Amino acid sequence: MQSKIDLAFDLHFSMVTFTIFNHYIIVYYSMQGKYNFITLNKIILRNFSLYKKNGKVYEVNEDINEGVYCLAGANGLGKTTFLNSVNYGLTGIVLEPNKEVYSPSEIVTANKRYTERYFIGRIVKKDEERAEIEILFKINEKYFRIIRSFFERDELRLLEIFSNNGNKKISHFKSKSESPRQLNVQFQESLAKEIGFVNFDYFIFYQLYVLTFDENRRMIFWDDRASSQALAIAFNSDPNDADKILELTRRMEKHESKGRNLRWQATQSKKKIEELRVKTKGKKISDIDKLENEYNKLNKEVEKLEKIHNNIEIECDSILKKQSYLNSDLMQLRIEHTRLFSKYSKPRSKLLENTNVQLSIKKKECCLCGSEGSQVVENIEKSIHRDKCPLCNTSINESNSSELNKLLKLIQKNDEKISTKNAELDDLILEVEGKKIELDKSEIEWNKTRKKLEELIEENPDISFKGTGNKSVDTLIDQYKNQFELADREAKEEYSKRDKLKPEYDKLLKKTEYSYKEAETIFVPTFKKLAKSFIGLDLNIQPKRTDKTIKLVLELQNLARTESFQLSESQRFFLDIALRMSLSIFLSSKSDPAMLMIDTPEGSLDIAYESRVGNMFAEYAVYYKQNLFMTANINASQLLISLAEKCGKNKMKFRRMLDWTDLSEIQKEGENLFKKVYSNIETALNKRKN
């Protein structure tokens, strides 16, 4: 019978346990399926001069299906432009190539000018005013219809938000003579709310950096900023936490940048003082431009070496982890060997351990008949080692016994595994030693370069602030001295401001790590499944913390791949696409699946991988019920045929660019080949019985 105290304790413990469990469930479910993504229904391009058929501008009017929409054509017909146009219609932005990944709040400012120039030439001057894109899409049971000019990025010509109730159209936005700019603001606020993002900047980031893989081939795995920002938005149960992380990142980077600039100004002021002193003494003046170049070079080198050192550290950790796994496997195999061998040798062991047999051997006297002498010992041992009982001559370990043969084969097989694992372990030990040497070297190089930078900033110890005897020069030196002291003080203040933000930043990153751990039971297996369907190997992804950020690291066969060059081009591209697919599957609600936009990098694919990529794309659309909006070169016919066979007409729409643009003279030479490829894909689409 439990006491009242015991009962009270059990009740309290149960409540605490339930609360913790309930918290896990809330965190998990608040992240999975937390966003409603858009489903494209229709795209219309009017007066877009690039697309001409028989010499006339063609009005592109495309109905977009659920599943896979594939636009295929030869190089140079405008597939990438079409994809960029759709993203422009949705966001008002076209990303400039070869630029770093920006935080959500910086994307518009950083790419505004490029966007304003992008369509010049693609649309001729006379069509500029009339050129526009119309997009109809569905989200959260509502339809959005927008029209945007290609040369007024922050305006909308039309905004409709409505739902259908049978044949009745119910409006959710009533225009009150808003200006085109006000319509755009209303669109941004409404769309962000329906998706579940804090603001429209988040939509721009996710749409352009995560849900789009275009010709710029921006990576998430191997770009620290893209990875950390994608993690912050995806794996935070509280949207405000994601917003705080991105804001703190921006502020810390701003303070650090200001601090570096002020340090440089301080250094230049000291250099000016030295220059003036040298002038008065008639000595050679230092080359300030050369010094500035050296500073910039060293600063970039320090950042580069820090990143290399952190990556090697991650790689070293993954090798040590693999070594631990191998040691664990070997221990299990050795335990199994002992168990099997004991079972195999059990009959003989019983005789050798028998008390009477041991006594007879020790006394050299048979315990049954009383015979004495060394021959007694020899006869007993001969009988035992001939696998015969010394008393009744019965076989004790029949070599022909099927059971014993099976045991022997199992022992041999187990020993082979031990040998293989030992060889793997030996190789891995060498690799660990090599990686440790590499880590030590990288740390030495990093510290060496940092020291050079510090020496450059601190200048030479022989520089003093004593007067020169020339009043006008001394006045200038005093001014530069004041400038130096001001810049040096402000630089320290900026670094201090940065450091004050770090505790809150670290706390939020820990929350992201925690949330990721809660989510990885669904997210990681999804990635593994998709990635393996492409590469055929076991992979994993892990969140890794560094001093400045948290990022996703790819592990291939338990070894970290922290640099993009550690994989082939096709492996990099399609594993990064698999990551985007996994993120979108995890984050999208059941009613509003994601639409991933892919400018297929088929040029990097080996022919052996084309079918596997087609299978991965089909799995995303058919098994996971997501949407894929893709462009492809017809050269990748095997990829498209494989995709068509898996999807069929109900899940895939195949569009030829030949329907709405003309071929060049060179492309016309291969027109028959194009038609043959198109025919093969159509045949594959009709094969599947949906």
Residue 82 lies in a domain: yes
pLDDT at 39 exceeding the cut of 90: yes
Confidence grade of residue 471 (pLDDT, cut at 50, 70, 90): low
Confidence grade of residue 13 (pLDDT, cut at 50, 70, 90): very low
Residues forming beta bridges with residue 46, ordered by sequence position: 132
pLDDT at 274 exceeding the cut of 80: no
Map 537-581 to HEC letters.
CCEEEEEEECCCCEEEEEEECCEEECCHHHCCHHHHHHHHHHHHH
Q: pLDDT, tens digit, for every residue of 493-524?
A: 888 888 888 888 788 778 777 777 777 788 88
Q: Is the dihedral of CA 606, 640, 89, 661 positive or negative?
A: positive
With contact defined as beta carbons under 8 Å apart, do 132 and 150 qualify? yes
What's the whole-number mean pLDDT along residues 631-639? 78
pLDDT at 98 exceeding the cut of 70: yes
Confidence grade of residue 386 (pLDDT, cut at 50, 70, 90): low
* Bridge-based pairing state of the strands 627-633 and 595-599: parallel
Q: pLDDT, tens digit, for every residue of 117-133?
A: 999 889 998 999 999 99
pLDDT at 68 exceeding the cut of 90: yes
pLDDT at 468 exceeding the cut of 50: no
CB-CB neighbours of 496 under 10 Å: 11
Helix axes of 239-281 and 402-458: crossing angle, nearest 10 degrees: 40
pLDDT at 361: 81
CB-CB neighbours of 441 under 10 Å: 12
Residue 653 lies in a domain: yes
Q: pLDDT, tens digit, for every residue of 531-582?
A: 888 888 888 888 777 766 777 788 887 788 878 788 888 888 888 999 999 9
pLDDT at 349 exceeding the cut of 70: no
Rounded distance between C-alpha atoms, residue 634 and residue 645, angstroms = 16
Residues composing the chain: 690
| Per-residue tokens: 112 | 């505004």
Single-letter residue type at 678: Y
Helix-then-strand count for the chain, H and E: 18, 16
Sorted by sequence, the CB contacts under 8 Å of residue 337 that are 6+ apart come out as 411, 414, 415, 418
pLDDT at 239: 61
Torsion angle, alpha carbons of 67, 71, 75, 81, to 10: -100
Q: What's the domain range around 98?
A: 48-207+627-687
pLDDT at 250 exceeding the cut of 60: yes
Report which of residues 392 and 85 the model is more confident about. 85
Residues forming beta bridges with residue 230, ordered by sequence position: none
Rounded distance between C-alpha atoms, residue 212 and residue 219, angstroms = 11
Residue 384 lies in a domain: no
pTM above 0.85, yes or no: no
Percent of the chain past pLDDT 70, that is, above it, reads: 83
* Bridge-based pairing state of the strands 212-213 and 595-599: parallel
Three-state secondary structure call for residue 50: coil
What's the whole-number mean pLDDT along residues 432-455? 84
What's the whole-number mean pLDDT along residues 64-89? 90
Residue 103 lies in a domain: yes
Least confident among 195-204, 271-280, 294-303: 271-280
Residue 112 lies in a domain: yes
Residue 509 lies in a domain: no
What's the whole-number mean pLDDT along residues 369-397? 71
Nearest to 187 by CA among 230, 142, 151, 232: 142
Rounded distance between C-alpha atoms, residue 493 and residue 333, angstroms = 60
- Which DSSP letter does residue 433 get? H
Residue 591 lies in a domain: no
Domain count, the chain: 1
With contact defined as beta carbons under 8 Å apart, do 226 and 216 qualify? no
Q: What angle do CA 409, 413, 419 make, to 5 degrees?
A: 145
pLDDT at 25: 39
Residue 6 lies in a domain: no
pLDDT at 5: 45
Burial of 143 (0-12, 13-18, 19+ CB in 10 A): middle
Sorted by sequence, the CB contacts under 8 Å of residue 530 that are 6+ apart come out as 578, 581, 582, 616, 619, 620
Owner of token pair 């001295």: 481
pLDDT at 204: 93
What's the whole-number mean pLDDT along residues 370-385? 74
pLDDT at 1: 45
CB-CB neighbours of 587 under 10 Å: 24
pLDDT at 571: 85
pLDDT at 486 exceeding the cut of 70: yes
Nearest to 250 by CA among 105, 394, 74: 105
pLDDT at 7 exceeding the cut of 50: no
Residue-averaged pLDDT of the chain: 80
